Amino acid sequence: MVVESPASDKLRNVGSKAGKQNVKLYYKKDMKAKKLIRNLLIIMILISNISCDQISKNIVRQKIEYNTQINIISKYLILTKVENTGAFLGLGESIPRPIYILLMIVLPLIVIGYALYYLMKRNNVSKLLIIGISFAVGGGLGNILDRILYGSVTDFLYFDFVLFHTGIVNIADISVTIGFFMIMIEFYINRRELISPAANNG
C-alpha cells in the first residue's frame, strides 16, 4: 500500500488549479476571438449595405432624370427617380421640419444605436438574427444619411410581382425588408422550439 505524502497532495491541488486556470483562459480567449469575428461580420454587412445604397443613389442622381421610366425587365422592374421627403413609401411627407427631424432622424438613430449595442454585447445571438439586424440597421443608416445630407431620400426601383407590386423604393429599403424577414424567421424558429418541448411534455 502506497501512502502519499502531504507534499504530493499539495502538488496535485496546484496542478488541478493550474489546469482549471488554463481552461478558463482558453475559454476567454476563444470567446474573445468569436466575438471579434462576429463584430467584424456586423461591420462588413453594415459597410456593404450602406455602400451599395449610397453608390446606387449617386448614380441615379447623376444619370437619371426625375420621373423617367426605364423598363429593366419589361414592366416587372422599372428604373425611375423620385425624391421622398417622408419615410418608407413616402409616409409622413407633410409633417413640420422639427417633427420630421425627431421622427425620421433622431428616433431611428436611437433605435439603431440600441440594435448595434444589443448585437455587440450579447453572446448568444444566432447568426440569422445577427445578419437580419445588420441588414435592417445598414438599410436604415443609408436612408438616414440621405435625410441628413439632402433632406430627402432618393427612390428609384419599382417592382411588379404580378400578384402585388411595390411602391418606388431603393437599396436601403430592400435591405431593411430582407433584415425584417430574417428577424421574423428567427422569431418563428424560436417560437417553434419553445412550443415543441411543451407539446411533447403534454
Residue 186, in any domain of the structure: yes
Residue 46, in any domain of the structure: yes
Residue 76, in any domain of the structure: yes
Residue 2, in any domain of the structure: no
Residue 3, in any domain of the structure: no
Q: What is the pLDDT of residues 96-134, one digit of tens each?
A: 778 888 888 999 999 999 999 988 888 888 999 999 999
Q: What is the pLDDT of residues 79-94, one digit of tens each?
A: 999 998 876 555 556 6
Are the CB atoms for 54 and 142 separated by under 8 Å?
yes
Residue 66, in any domain of the structure: yes
Supply the mean pLDDT for the chain: 84
Q: How many CA atoms lie within 13 A of 191 on its CB side?
A: 6
CA–CA gap between residue 89 and residue 69 (Å, rounded): 18
pLDDT at site 7:
57
Asked whether the predicted pLDDT for residue 168 surpasses 70, the reply is yes
Q: Which residues are catalytic?
A: 155, 173
- The amino acid sitting at 40 is L
| Residue 30, C-alpha cell as written in the block | 476563444
Residue 1, in any domain of the structure: no
> Domain limits at 175?
8-201
Query: Domain tally for the chain?
Result: 1
Higher pLDDT among residues 31 and 53, named by residue: 53
Are the CB atoms for 202 and 196 separated by under 8 Å?
no
Give mean pLDDT, residues 142-171.
92
Instruction: Give residue 199's pLDDT band: very low, low, confident or very high (50, 70, 90).
Output: low
Asked whether the predicted pLDDT for residue 167 surpasses 70, the reply is yes
Residue 61, in any domain of the structure: yes
Asked whether the predicted pLDDT for residue 197 surpasses 90, the reply is no
pLDDT at site 17:
62
